[in-house]
Structure formats: structure tokens, C-alpha cells
Amino acid sequence: MNRPTEETLDPVNWNEIRTLGHQMIDDMIDYLQSLRDKPVWEKPTNEVKEVLNRSLPQEGQPVEEVYQEFLSYILPYNKGNIHPRFFAWVQGNGTPLGMLADMLASGMNPNTTIGDHAAMYVEQQVVEWSKEMFGFSKEASGLLVSGATMANLTALTVARNSLQDLQIRVKGTDDKLTVYCSSETHICVIKATEVLGIGSERTRIIPVTDTFQIDVEALISMIKADIAAGFRPFCVVGNAGTVNTGAVDPLEELYQICQEFGLWLHIDGAFGSLAKLTPTFAEKLKTIEKADSLAFDFHKWLHVPYESACVLIRDKQLHQSAFSSVPNYLTAHERGLAAGPEPLTNYGIELSRSFKALKVWMSLKEHGIQKYGRLVQQNIDQARYLGEKVSRTPNLELLVPVSMNIVCFRFNDGKHSEGALNQLNKEILMRLHESGIAAPSYTIIHGKYAIRTNITNHRTRLEDLDLLINAIIEIATGILVKVVEFDVNNPLHYSAFKDINYAWINKYFKVEQGDLDSLENPEKYFIATGGAVLLACRGDEILGTTALKLIGDNSLELCKMGVNEAARGLGIGYIIGEAAIQKAKALGTKRLYLETNSSLSPALNLYKKLGFSKVENFSSPYVRADVAMEMYL
Ligand SMILES: *Cc1c(COP(=O)(O)O)cnc(C)c1O
């Protein structure tokens, strides 16, 4: 008999894929090792978008080529949440071992739902560890899910279906059920109640206090009013770390209220519940141990790669009766592969499930829970440092007291309306992202646009937070400061040029007659001879000046660069230096020259940043400067 030609997806040449696999691992380890030197984020180019918009491949191409496309079009345009200066939203970084564990899990590729195989036991163990981590009893149950969104939905399903008299699985949702949560609750909780047929209207949004915690009095009144009106309250969702500000609801009070009214207490602890591992929050989060259910993420503050989260349910029977229904083809056998632990589909919505438990299992074994606790505490301490730094920095305003790991602040120099400040801070944030230096996100705090810096990052160091603050100040200055050309009809320009530079020269050099003449008459010394004078202005204030002086053979000298003492540290020097370079180009110069004094090391750094290279040291009794630099335009 002629057998047909059979195909497979396995490689023809196993050594080729082995070599490529080794290369991939080397490349990714290099990538992770050098993260700090890369921009946080880069905008995907038009070419990238074009490549990623091509139609369905009909025939295959060599894997090396496919990998090259990944290296060219995908890897460089990563989201950035693995970077030390990613502070946006609440996202985790992942780890090298987590990455490798994902590879191992995909290699094994077990569908982790039913059967007698290792992945089932690994998941069971991870759930047991999770219960231990949060002080849930041995009798509790749990399930790994994709994210806290699914964990919240799963928990709320159990809470709803626990009202056994209503037989919701058979009859559908009762139209009297009500749920309670604060106005700071994550949107996925509202989505969950919508999906569950409770609807956003009967999800009672309770106002928060100044510190963004649920207003307990308002909650009690609402529950009572609902009962009086014939509704059936069944669940309160408490927050252990809100996504906006990191606020923790008064969980013990919520627990008491739930006891009193016979309600289910669910806690959304997506990231914040992990703070229970720290000395700072252990006590404040102790009530988690008594909650009916908890949703939390492994992929946020525990840095297991996406997606990995967990839901814990105090009452295993209720958990099971909310989801279990085993069709014939999934019934367990006494022996063989079809034996083993209870199918996990009895505890959630999904049937086919990945072996995500492996990366959690390997990560917890690699580091131990103590280290994770220290890292969470480290972020909490860093947030406190940042909050204090913001409070101490002129023109920055802390908008909410730091409660956990989130710092909300804005640039505010006291010279703008609220509307203008909102615009300004949004512009600062967009430029900050485009600069690739750091990536905080934003939120609105009592109508004020806030730069929201979330630190769930095991790679962040204090120096990264310093860099963030400096960048924000420099960008704000760049937006607010306009560089203008010297106006010979404006007496303020004369006086500012003279005052700023006199103070500057007098501080570092010996003032000579030539200096005084050029400061009195800049138009004669610089402009009239083919150079220029520039002034950096913020509104009516003149904050800095510089002059360009023609020194023959297509060369200009950059000189008289001074910044108002009161405007130091705002990055004015850089702004005016860049403007001078642009002006020199416009004047057709080929070479820009600069003499300065090497004792002015901050100035030297500035010149380097502008692109000058140090070409010679000299000391001369006739010149006061001792470093000469130049750049070719
Ligand atoms: C992130 C977050 C969620 C959603 O979790 P996912 O893992 O993104 O699905 C829910 N609640 C809070 C407080 C969160 O921070």
C-alpha cells in the first residue's frame, strides 16, 4: 500500500531549532541584563505597524527569518513594564527564571484541568501556599486564573450563587440583589457585577473619605435603605490597595458590617494584599484572613510573568457548587490518566487551562516568601521617599498623602489656573514618556490632573526616583520657558543680560573692563559683529542668557551663558544652550567653540550633554578659562 506523505509541525532539523533556541535565550538574558540602559518606551514606527498589518501567511518561512522579524519589529517596542523606571498603572516586571519557567511549561504544554499528572499537583501546591500566605484555613479552596479581573469575577460568582434559596444557576439572577463597593474600586469589579446580571445600577458605589477609603457610615446607610426598599444586599467588596492611590479600606469595619447584615466579604487585593507580607501593613491587612474570598495577582507585586493570579474562597463547598458540573467525558476514573485530583473546571469558568502554576511554583521556590516581603516593603519605603522628595521640591505638589506604593503629585509653580495646570501636567507626562526616561501614569485627584507614580518594581532604585523628579522639572521648564532673541528696544533685556552675567562672572572670575563693556552693550559686542544674544523667559521673568560671538573662519564662540541664581536646577542652561546651537546653525556656522573653567564641573556636564567634546586643557596667564571645547555642526 502507498502510504501518504505525512507532515508534522516538528522541525526537520532538530539541531537548527536547538541552536536557535540557545540564541533566543542568550538574547533575552542580554536584554534583561541591560534594561536600565534602554529607554522605558519607544513609539512603534510606521514600518512596524505596516509589517504587523500584513495579511495571513499562506506558506511558511524559515524560523531564523521569523525570529529576525521578532528582533526587528517586536522586541524594541516593548511596553516597558519590565524597566526599572516603569511607574505606570500597577504592573509587574517578571524575572529571568519566570521567563524560563514559562518556556518549560509551554514545552510540557499540559492542559491543566483534569487528569493524574504533575501539573495538577503543582497547581494544588501553589493554591495551598497561597492560603498559607494570606492566613486562609486548610479547608479553603482556590484556583489560579489569568488575572485579578477573572479572580474577582470568580469570587463574585461564588458569592452570588451562595444564595442557595435563589437557585441562580437554574433560574438566573434575582433582580433584587445588591453589591457594595467604594467609588475607588477597580472597574473590573463593576464589569464583573454587570456580567453576573446584577448590573451597575444595583452595584452601589459608596463615596470615599479624604484618604480615598470607603465611607463606612454611608455604606451602612445604603445597606439599610436598600433593605427597607426591598432589595437584597449580599456582598461588600473591600479594597486592599486601590489602583488610583493605593488606599486600603477599613477592612475590619467592613468585616463587622458583613457579620451584622449577613453579607459576603470579598477583598480585591490585586496587588495591595501582598503588603500583608510587610511589617508596615501586616496588622492593617489582617482582616484578609477572615474574608469570604480574596482576589490577588502573582503578576503584579510578586513579578511572576503574565498571566497569573489567584482566587481564594473560604468555603470550598460553596466554591464547588458555584461551578461544578462534570459531563460524561470528564468523569474521573479510579486509575490511569483519567484518575487524579478533582477537575479544576469545578472551581472556575475555564476548561482548557495553561500550566501557569509552574512559573509561580519555581519563583516562590527560587526566592522564598521572605524576600518577596522585603521587596514589597522596599517599594513602600521608596514611595515614602518619593513623597517626601516631592514635598521638599519647589514647584512640585503632593496631591494625596502616600498610603502604600503610589505617589500622586503634579508640577505647580503657583502661576497657573487649575485648567492650565491640568494641561501642563498632561504635556509633561507625554513628553516624559516620549523621552523614554521614565513612565509614570496619570489620574485625576479631586479634578486635578496628577502624575501617578506607582512602584511595584523590584528593579527600581532610589536613583531612578531622583532621575524622575529631575526629568519632570526639566521638562516643565522646557514647556514654560521660551527662548527669545535680544530686543535692542527693550531696556529689560539690557538690564537682565547685565545683571545675570555680572553676578555669574563676579562669582567665578575676575571682572575685567572688557566684560563690563560687553555686558553694557551686548548688541555691539555680539549681534552687530555677526553673533546673537538669546534670553530664556518664563512669562515676564528673564531666567537665563547666552551670547554667540563670531570668531572668524565659520566659527562662533558660545559665551556669557548665565542663569539667574533663583532659577538654578530647572534645566535653563540646557534649554538656552540648545537654542544657541540651533541659532548657530541658522547663522551658517560650521564650528561652535567654548572656553570655560574646569572648576565649574556642573557646567562641564551641561556642555557635554549639549554635544561639546573636550579638546584641550590649557592654562595661560592671559585667559581665565582653562578648558576649551568645540563641536562641529
Ligand atoms: C490590576 C488590578 C485589578 C485587575 O487585575 P488584572 O490582573 O489586571 O486582571 C483589579 N483590582 C485592582 C486593585 C488592581 O490593581
Q: Output the domain CATH number for residue 473.
A: 3.90.1150.170
Q: Is residue 91 part of a domain?
A: no
Three-class SS of residue 183?
A: coil
Tell which atom from ligand 1 comes closest to the C-alpha of 147: 7
Q: Is residue 97 part of a domain?
A: no
Q: Give the per-residue pLDDT at 622.
A: 52
Averaged pLDDT score across all residues of the chain: 94
Residues 435 and 339 in one domain: no
Tell which atom from ligand 1 comes closest to the C-alpha of 241: 13
Q: Is the pLDDT of residue 556 over 90?
A: yes
In angstroms, what is the span from residue 410 Cα to ligand 1's centroid?
Answer: 25
Residues 218 and 348 in one domain: yes
Residues 488 and 562 in one domain: yes
Domain with 505, as residue range(s), is 482-632
Taking the C-alpha atoms of residue 196 and residue 155, their distance in angstroms, rounded to an integer, is: 11
Reported confidence tier of residue 623, pLDDT bands at 50, 70, 90: low
Residues with CB under 6 A from ligand 1: 90, 147-149, 186, 188, 241-243, 268, 270-271, 297, 309
Residues 515 and 593 in one domain: yes
Q: Give the per-residue pLDDT at 35.
A: 95
pTM for the model stands at: 0.87
Q: Give the per-residue pLDDT at 372.
A: 98
Residues 514 and 391 in one domain: no
10 Å CB burial of residue 98 (0-12, 13-18, 19+) is buried
CATH number at residue 622: 3.40.630.30
Q: Is the pLDDT of residue 39 over 60?
A: yes
Contact of 485 with 542, CB cutoff 8 Å = no
For residue 203, the tally of other CB atoms under 10 A from its CB is 23
Q: Is residue 98 part of a domain?
A: no
Q: Is the pLDDT of residue 332 over 80?
A: no
In angstroms, what is the span from residue 180 Cα to ligand 1's centroid?
Answer: 18
Question: Which of 185, 189, 297, 405 is the pocket-test mutation for ligand 1 (most atoms within 8 Å of CB)?
Answer: 297
Taking the C-alpha atoms of residue 523 and residue 528, their distance in angstroms, rounded to an integer, is: 6
What would the pLDDT profile of 501-517 be if each residue is shown by its tens digit?
A: 998 888 777 778 888 89
Reported confidence tier of residue 554, pLDDT bands at 50, 70, 90: confident
Reported confidence tier of residue 328, pLDDT bands at 50, 70, 90: low
Q: Which residue has the higher pLDDT, 597 or 369?
A: 369
Look at ligand 1, atom 15, and give the residue with the nearest C-alpha.
Answer: 243
Q: Is the pLDDT of residue 195 over 90?
A: yes
Residues 408 and 505 in one domain: no
* H-helix or E-strand spanning residue 204: strand 203-206
Q: Is the pLDDT of residue 626 over 90?
A: no
Tell which atom from ligand 1 comes closest to the C-alpha of 299: 7
In angstroms, what is the span from residue 352 Cα to ligand 1's centroid?
Answer: 22
In angstroms, what is the span from residue 240 Cα to ligand 1's centroid?
Answer: 11
Residues 400 and 338 in one domain: no
Taking the C-alpha atoms of residue 196 and residue 98, their distance in angstroms, rounded to an integer, is: 34
Residues 122 and 222 in one domain: yes
Q: Give the per-residue pLDDT at 613.
A: 87
Look at ligand 1, atom 12, and give the residue with the nearest C-alpha.
Answer: 270
What DSSP assignment string belongs to 16-62? Answer: HHHHHHHHHHHHHHHHHHTGGGS-S--PPPHHHHHHTT----SS---
Taking the C-alpha atoms of residue 50 and residue 70, their distance in angstroms, rounded to an integer, is: 14
Contact of 174 with 184, CB cutoff 8 Å = no
What would the pLDDT profile of 379-433 be if each residue is shown by its tens digit?
A: 999 999 999 999 999 999 999 999 899 999 999 999 899 999 999 999 999 999 9
Tell which atom from ligand 1 comes closest to the C-alpha of 242: 13
Phi-psi domain of 487 (left: phi exceeds 0; alpha: psi -120 through 50; beta: other): beta
Residues 395 and 429 in one domain: yes
Q: What mean pLDDT do residues 339-348 have?
A: 90
Domain end position, chosen among 367, 399, 432: 367
Tell which atom from ligand 1 comes closest to the C-alpha of 271: 15
What DSSP assignment string belongs to 216-241? Answer: HHHHHHHHHHHHHTT-EEEEEEEEBS
The structural domain count of the chain equals 4
